[in-house]
Amino acid sequence: MIKAVLVDDERLVLDLLNKVIREASGISIMGSFTDPEEALIQIPQLDADVLFLDVDMPEMSGLELAARLMESPNTKELSIVFVTAYEQYAIRAFELNAIHYILKPVDVQSVDEIVSRVYKKKGLDVPKLPDQGELYFFGNPHLRIEGSPSSFLTPKIEELLALLVLHQDKGISKWRIIDELWEESSVEKSQQNLHTMMFRLKQSLRNAGIQLHIRSKNGIYTVDAKDVYCDFREFDRLAACKQPTRRETIAAYEQAISLYQGDLLDGKDYLWCIPIREKYYRTFVELVAAVFQYATEQGEVSRLKQLRQRVEGLLLEEDRMWWPYKAR
């Protein structure tokens, strides 16, 4: 997954750009800045692949910021995408290592095109677009097809899908599913409900073109989701990541933190999910603490600010007690 940094002096525009990029595939956000001077200091330390840069800023234009960033040995390979409302900046933009420029307002299709260009520039295979579906379990759980949220799942089918996917490593018995979803029904009625819901789930996934394969053997249901993006699986991969340097490991942790949009299956009162939800939250807290410690040791005040903004409202009160840093 490529790593992006965003710079725009208008907070509302920056927030909108954050939202649009998070809806794209194959890209994560490492940091965002409204102050170009701060961005000039921090971006060379973030190991980003692409910079989305507003052109028209009063204190320092995007063109000037790009030129100064190109003087740093740490950003020689940084791809720059100018975000502007004016096409006349295009020629100058391409003289500054820009791979593209996009006109405001930015849309997901434009970001997908940029992602493709960055992957090709780095000599990597372009990741598949989300036409095979993407599952998001952090925060408000939802499924995306071709980049757009899908609402074809009923509450009961949604819970069945969550049970299957969150237990995909070892599988889950049909009796465990029945206990969790139809505890008060008779055995015969429960088994009938399971078969009906499983058929409807498979049919819905197949009709939507989602390559998630559900199999049953000896009463154990397993799921093959290798062709479907799952945010918690990517979180697991990044959280367990051990890069050659501590700096690169911390960068992976920051990507994992950016995936944590809220508690796992937030707002769902599934009793079976409580221990899994707690496990992911505790891992999230450990990653935040690791990034906080690294940024503190390195004296990276801007990184601390970015971290605080990213996790604000996600940490419980007792897990904020150790945070002595106050944003300015």
- Give the chain as a 3 state SS string: CEEEEEECCCHHHHHHHHHHHHCCCCEEEEEEECCHHHHHHHHHHCCCCEEEEECCCCCCCHHHHHHHHCCCHHHCCCEEEEEECCHHHHHHHHCCCEEEEEECCCCHHHHHHHHHHHHHHCCCCCCCCHHHCEEECECCCEEEECCEEECCCCHHHHHHHHHHHHCCCCCEEHHHHHHHHCCCCCHHHHHHHHHHHHHHHHHHHHHCCCCCEEEEECCEEEEECCCCEEHHHHHHHHHCCCCCCHHHHHHHHHHHHHHCCCCECCCCCCHHHHHHHHHHHHHHHHHHHHHHHHHHHHCCHHHHHHHHHHHCCCCCHHHCCCCCCCCC
Task: Name residue 27's beta-bridge partners.
Answer: 2
Token pair recorded at residue 152: 């074809």
Beta strands 142-145 and 27-33, pairing class: unpaired
Per-residue confidence (pLDDT) for residue 91, from 0 to 100: 47
Kindly give, in sequence order, each residue whose CB lies less than 8 Å from that of residue 11, ignoring residues fewer than 6 positions away: 34
Per-residue confidence (pLDDT) for residue 236, from 0 to 100: 94
Per-residue confidence (pLDDT) for residue 276, from 0 to 100: 97
Per-residue confidence (pLDDT) for residue 138, from 0 to 100: 94
Residues 227/233, Cβ–Cβ less than 8 Å:
no
Per-residue confidence (pLDDT) for residue 97, from 0 to 100: 59
Q: What is the pTM of this model?
A: 0.66
Counting as low any pLDDT under 70, the low residues of the chain are 86-98, 126-132, 145-149, 151-152, 243-244, 321-328
Q: Tell me the pLDDT tens digit for each residue of 63-89.
A: 899 889 988 888 888 999 988 776 555
Per-residue confidence (pLDDT) for residue 313, from 0 to 100: 86
Per-residue confidence (pLDDT) for residue 105, from 0 to 100: 76
Tokens 């579906």 appear where? Answer: 133
Per-residue confidence (pLDDT) for residue 89, from 0 to 100: 52
